[in-house]
Amino acid sequence: MASKTFYAIIAGAGSGTGMYSLPKYLVPSRASALRFAKAYPVVLLARRPESYNEIVSEINGSGGQAIGITADATDSATLDLAFQTISQRLPGSKLAAAIYNVNGGFTRKPFLDLKLEELDASLNAAPRGLFAFAQKTLPLLLDSVPDSPHPPTLIITGATASVKGSAYFGGFAAGKFALRALAQSLAREFHPQGVHVAHAIIDGGIDTPWGKNLIMNNGVEDGKIKPEQIAEDYWHLHTQHRSGFTHEIDTRPFVEKF
Amino acid sequence: MASKTFYAIIAGAGSGTGMYSLPKYLVPSRASALRFAKAYPVVLLARRPESYNEIVSEINGSGGQAIGITADATDSATLDLAFQTISQRLPGSKLAAAIYNVNGGFTRKPFLDLKLEELDASLNAAPRGLFAFAQKTLPLLLDSVPDSPHPPTLIITGATASVKGSAYFGGFAAGKFALRALAQSLAREFHPQGVHVAHAIIDGGIDTPWGKNLIMNNGVEDGKIKPEQIAEDYWHLHTQHRSGFTHEIDTRPFVEKF
Amino acid sequence: MASKTFYAIIAGAGSGTGMYSLPKYLVPSRASALRFAKAYPVVLLARRPESYNEIVSEINGSGGQAIGITADATDSATLDLAFQTISQRLPGSKLAAAIYNVNGGFTRKPFLDLKLEELDASLNAAPRGLFAFAQKTLPLLLDSVPDSPHPPTLIITGATASVKGSAYFGGFAAGKFALRALAQSLAREFHPQGVHVAHAIIDGGIDTPWGKNLIMNNGVEDGKIKPEQIAEDYWHLHTQHRSGFTHEIDTRPFVEKF
Amino acid sequence: MASKTFYAIIAGAGSGTGMYSLPKYLVPSRASALRFAKAYPVVLLARRPESYNEIVSEINGSGGQAIGITADATDSATLDLAFQTISQRLPGSKLAAAIYNVNGGFTRKPFLDLKLEELDASLNAAPRGLFAFAQKTLPLLLDSVPDSPHPPTLIITGATASVKGSAYFGGFAAGKFALRALAQSLAREFHPQGVHVAHAIIDGGIDTPWGKNLIMNNGVEDGKIKPEQIAEDYWHLHTQHRSGFTHEIDTRPFVEKF
């Protein structure tokens, strides 16, 4: 049975629809919610209720506890409200794990066609969003260090573009590189204080319902990453002993070129 | 004698005073202007005339040609005006080299003390500023490919924080990582079109008049990088044949730990 | 209950005594053997029986199955004999996981004092040893792809020196860099064939009985990596679905500088 | 006029014929010899006189000074003899620059077809060869620190495989990664003593007479690196002021994918 004393929060529960969507970059929030809900109540943050309603129902209907909150994880003010709601809905519960899955700013176009707003969308979803989310969650994670069942953990989802600035992907890569810079810096500052900060380079398409029509790796079976595998990776990171923190993992389908 | 047909532009001629200044991060614009002025008229962009007046006079007084223009290199509108001014001042001249030396957003503080404005200053000076500068200069550099004396070149100044997110440097590193992402992406897109894009990791303090009281490497002689050396490096990058472009160099004092 | 149909093999079971020993670099073979023995019979290879006798007894005495074989994992001929022995001792069993933990060539000294034999010891333990071990195990792992409970896995243990050539560590780093090169190359060749190849950067001291007098990180509690955590990491890598292979992880104590 | 007081030495003057040859990997020794001969007498080491005879004649016939010595740069004993010869031929002259261009061990084949001898050829040409060459040259370079016209320099030629272990290139990459490890370690140890150590990642084919039939980048003009450009890069590295050493550069044709 899951502890009621600690909870997990996942930002970026959206399905990835909208101007920036590409199924390849859909975030693994749904599977992470299911995985962490085996151990903790789970809070999902998304900009629109339709992004989390289904998974919240599924978890609550199967013996777990989930709460969906409409909030823009990149906006400090709505985050404040979200954490007030959490205090009311989960009184006395402390934060064990925070997952930053927010995506945005994905564009693929010649640089001279790129708009500043597209670069800004990438920067907003990546370093600026993580900044807001981490400013809220790190004090709570620090507070959980003495008694959390596992070292309190902040997990950040990156992409191929976190480590390679490909042609036509400059805007997206700018955000993802910056996100990784922040993740590294937070790890170096907060690891010695007992909070685990991990960054995952998702190097491949994710196999989601929304992306089922997207052919990747020539349609070979298992050519897209099962979100359940990413969720297991995140759970593994969360449960690492503080004597052996992993800061960065890469993950890709067996057939993915790299 | 310098060609009049091609010119060089250097953004970020400021002395680094102001809220973000640390002498360590002073940009090597002055020395670069002197070096490139041996071959080309040089345009210096800075937010305040006092940042370029002295070097402009020095170059014009010694047989070269320099033009200072007050502009915020991170602001598309003032950049437009700057390039109109250039057209009037250097009629018919084409762009051979553009150097992006803009700095900003340097802070060293615990993450929970960092303000969003500080992160934004870093993002503004780095990826957003390069975005604006590159959108203006790349079409001009492309136009120079057929007849430029050397492959037209965009050079971008990075720092240690371009490749390492140290504790307390998250905001600064976010900008510098993003700048590098953009530099990589531009190289991959524009190299095949004949424009050379290079990124320099300045891994150490720079020996400037403003920084003379800053002790680095225990004050050992040559423990800070001579800006003239960086200028020679930039000139070397500019003059590389297109069959052998260097995309990235690091540079540091002989005594610098790395 | 552990499958009898598949087994795991761990090379480098030694305690790290000998000319190259430093407790910091003791290999996590014992803990890995215990972890993998929960699922598979485990074969331990070491140059001397005293390196594996104790752990073999412990596993066999607690319901698992372990076999110790005296062999030099870097020597093709003794490896041939070892696999003949395995065929006899575990008839019909197939290989599910192979772990290359061999260490050697650790020296810390000024380059001009380094002997060629010391460089060679590092190269022998690292790329040459992995070469021999992988040539034997990869055909067996490929043969297990269709029916192994998890994707057959080759795990290779690296160190800080796998990614950084520090002063005085040139010989050791040469071996570890080369080991990583080979690991990358094997991943790119064998992932698409269904065999998972993973490389772990152990960035810190390991907390072993032999190393208990070695002070690291000022003796802070958990300042050395628990080998059990590394074993869990390896088990997690082994059990990843082929749609989401991790090729490289880093691991370090929460207080380790990086 | 070239100084007679200091000389340069280049190891690996061969044309790359033999079992490991591919024109792509031909070493840029000829062009480097010509470039450094403008400033210094140049010593060329190669295993066979036919590798250096032509370039030695060319330099000596055009006002420079060159000496060819038959030696295996990876063999300490023949290197000893080579430096005795140098003492006789250039009495009183000191070493200003040493370039390690030795190549070998290039193979492209499935790992299970790779022979240990092929891995060994790569390790021998790369870390073991540099070890021997650096053990001889670093004491001489250190001795030149006080009065060398430029900081005494050791330059090491790497390749794409120095930073990426591609499928089928494991043996070659093992050597090149190890070479880079050693280069990094030497830089960190010897920079503070005044000797500059630089590593060049040659990421593309080199345009040599021997390789003229090799089509690269679809035969586009300048799709192979002009060795003269590499030589200019090396000369630039050699002339850097000690306040701003570059440790690593990459170089590739403008059309090369990376």
Q: What is the pLDDT of residues B17-37, one digit of tens each?
A: 333 344 344 567 889 999 999
C177 domain residue, yes or no: yes
Distance (Å, rounded) from C-alpha B89 to C-alpha B83?
Answer: 10
Chain D residues in contact with chain B using a Cβ-Cβ cutoff of 8 Å? 151, 188, 191-192, 194, 196, 204, 207, 222-226, 228-230, 232-233, 236, 239-258
ipTM for this prediction: 0.94
What would the 3-class secondary structure string for C50-94 be? Answer: HHCHHHHHHHHCCCCCEEEEECCCCCHHHHHHHHHHHHHHCCCCE
**Buried b / exposed e along A17-48 (16+ C-beta atoms within 10 A):** eeebbbbbbbbbbbbbbbbbbebbbbbbbbbe
- Is D226 strand, coil or helix? coil
**Min Cα separation B8/chain D (Å):** 21
What pTM value is reported for the model?
Answer: 0.96
From the list D138, D177, D188, the residue facing C180 with the nearest CB is D177
Least confident of A66-75, B4-13, B221-230, C7-16: C7-16
Cβ <8 Å between B244 and D253: yes
Between C19 and B213, name the one with better pLDDT. B213
* C32, two tokens: 């890995």
The answer to whether C215 and C12 have CB atoms below 8 angstroms apart is no
What is the pLDDT, as a whole number, of residue C19? 33
What is the pLDDT, as a whole number, of residue B14? 58
The partner residues of B98 in beta bridges, in order of sequence, read B9, B154
Question: Considering only CB atoms, which chain D residues are within 8 Å of C119?
Answer: 127-128, 131
Closest CA to C137 of C80, C179, C91: C80
**Burial of C142 per CB tally in 10 Å (0-12, 13-18, 19+):** middle
Chain B residues in contact with chain A using a Cβ-Cβ cutoff of 8 Å? 76, 110-112, 114, 116, 119-120, 123, 127-128, 131-132, 134-135, 138-139, 161, 164-171, 173-186, 188-190
Question: Considering only CB atoms, which chain C residues are within 8 Å of A254?
Answer: 151, 191-192, 194, 196, 242-243, 245
Between C56 and B216, name the one with better pLDDT. C56
Number of domains in chain C: 1
**Burial of C133 per CB tally in 10 Å (0-12, 13-18, 19+):** buried
Task: Output phi, psi for D178, to 5 deg.
Answer: -65, -40
Q: Give chain B's mean pLDDT.
A: 91
Best residue of C106, C113, C123 to probe chain D, by most D CBs closer than 10 Å: C123
Per-residue pLDDT of chain D (258 residues; tens, 9 = 90+): 455 699 999 998 654 433 334 434 456 788 999 999 999 999 999 888 988 999 999 999 999 999 999 998 788 899 999 999 999 999 999 999 999 998 887 889 999 999 999 999 999 999 999 999 999 999 999 999 999 999 999 999 999 999 999 999 999 999 999 999 999 999 999 999 999 999 999 999 888 776 666 677 888 999 999 999 999 999 999 999 999 999 999 999 999 999
Distance (Å, rounded) from C-alpha D160 to C-alpha C183?
Answer: 16
Amino acid at B60: N
Best residue of D142, D254, D255, D257 to probe chain B, by most B CBs closer than 10 Å: D254
The answer to whether D245 and D194 have CB atoms below 8 angstroms apart is no
The answer to whether A98 and A153 have CB atoms below 8 angstroms apart is yes
Q: pLDDT-based confidence at B249, cuts 50/70/90?
A: very high
What is the pLDDT, as a whole number, of residue A17? 36
From the list C222, C244, C256, the residue facing A253 with the nearest CB is C244
Question: Considering only CB atoms, which chain C residues are within 8 Å of D139?
Answer: 112
D1 domain residue, yes or no: no
C73 domain residue, yes or no: yes
Q: Does the pLDDT value for residue A138 go beyond 90?
A: yes
Domain that holds residue A130: 6-251
Q: pLDDT-based confidence at B135, cuts 50/70/90?
A: very high
The answer to whether C247 and C199 have CB atoms below 8 angstroms apart is yes
Q: Is the Cα dihedral D58, D61, D66, D72 positive or negative?
A: positive
Per-residue pLDDT reduced to its tens digit, C217-256: 888 999 999 999 999 999 999 999 999 999 999 999 999 9
B126 domain residue, yes or no: yes
Cβ <8 Å between A223 and C243: yes
Question: Considering only CB atoms, which chain A residues are within 8 Å of C239?
Answer: 232
**Min Cα separation A154/chain C (Å):** 14
* A212, two tokens: 């089922």
The answer to whether B94 and B146 have CB atoms below 8 angstroms apart is no
Q: Does the pLDDT value for residue A16 go beyond 80?
A: no
D258 domain residue, yes or no: no
What is the pLDDT, as a whole number, of residue A60? 98
Least confident of A26-30, A215-219, B94-98: A26-30
What is the pLDDT, as a whole number, of residue D245? 98
Q: pLDDT-based confidence at C3, cuts 50/70/90?
A: low
* D142, two tokens: 């250190």
* A92, two tokens: 């006395």
What is the pLDDT, as a whole number, of residue A175? 97
In the block, residue with structure tokens 């003495």? A146
What is the pLDDT, as a whole number, of residue B3? 58
Q: pLDDT-based confidence at C25, cuts 50/70/90?
A: very low
Section C35-51 average pLDDT: 93
Q: Does the pLDDT value for residue C172 go beyond 90?
A: yes
Between D7 and C105, name the one with better pLDDT. D7
**Burial of D89 per CB tally in 10 Å (0-12, 13-18, 19+):** middle
Distance (Å, rounded) from C-alpha D138 to C-alpha D132?
Answer: 10
Between D144 and B209, name the one with better pLDDT. D144
* A64, two tokens: 């777990």
What is the pLDDT, as a whole number, of residue A211? 63
Q: Which residues contact A154 (CB under 8 A, 6 or more apart)?
A: A97, A98, A99, A100, A134, A137, A138, A141, A186, A190, A195, A196, A197, A198
B80 domain residue, yes or no: yes
Domain at D162, CATH number: 3.40.50.720
Q: Does the pLDDT value for residue B158 go beyond 80?
A: yes
Q: Does the pLDDT value for residue C22 go beyond 70?
A: no
- Minimal Cα distance from B230: which residue of D? D244
Between D218 and C98, name the one with better pLDDT. C98
Share of chain A above pLDDT 90, in %: 78
Per-residue pLDDT reduced to its tens digit, C28-40: 788 999 999 999 9
Chain C residues in contact with chain D using a Cβ-Cβ cutoff of 8 Å? 76, 110-112, 114, 116, 119-120, 123, 127-128, 131-132, 134-135, 138-139, 161, 164-171, 173-186, 188-190
Cβ <8 Å between A128 and B116: yes
What is the pLDDT, as a whole number, of residue B216? 75
Q: Give the number of C-alpha atoms closer than 13 A to the C-alpha of residue D209, restricted to the C-beta side.
A: 5
Q: Is the Cα dihedral C211, C217, C220, C224 positive or negative?
A: negative
Chain C residues in contact with chain A using a Cβ-Cβ cutoff of 8 Å? 151, 188, 191-192, 194, 196, 204, 207, 222-226, 228-230, 232-233, 236, 239-258
Question: Considering only CB atoms, which chain D residues are within 8 Å of C134?
Answer: 111
CA dihedral B166, B171, B172, B177 (to 10 degrees): 80
The answer to whether D69 and D129 have CB atoms below 8 angstroms apart is no
Distance (Å, rounded) from C-alpha B237 to C-alpha D50?
Answer: 34
- For strands A196-202 and A66-70, give the pairing: unpaired
From the list B165, B178, B189, the residue facing A184 with the nearest CB is B165
Least confident of A79-93, A141-155, B206-220, C108-122: B206-220
Q: pLDDT-based confidence at C23, cuts 50/70/90?
A: very low
Cβ <8 Å between A174 and B182: yes
Cβ <8 Å between C138 and D167: no
C150 domain residue, yes or no: yes
End-to-end CA distance of chain A: 41
Q: Which residues contact C61 (CB under 8 A, 6 or more apart)?
A: none
C1 domain residue, yes or no: no
Closest CA to A155 of A229, A83, A94, A238: A238
Section A217-232 average pLDDT: 92
Least confident of A93-107, A233-247, B182-196: A93-107
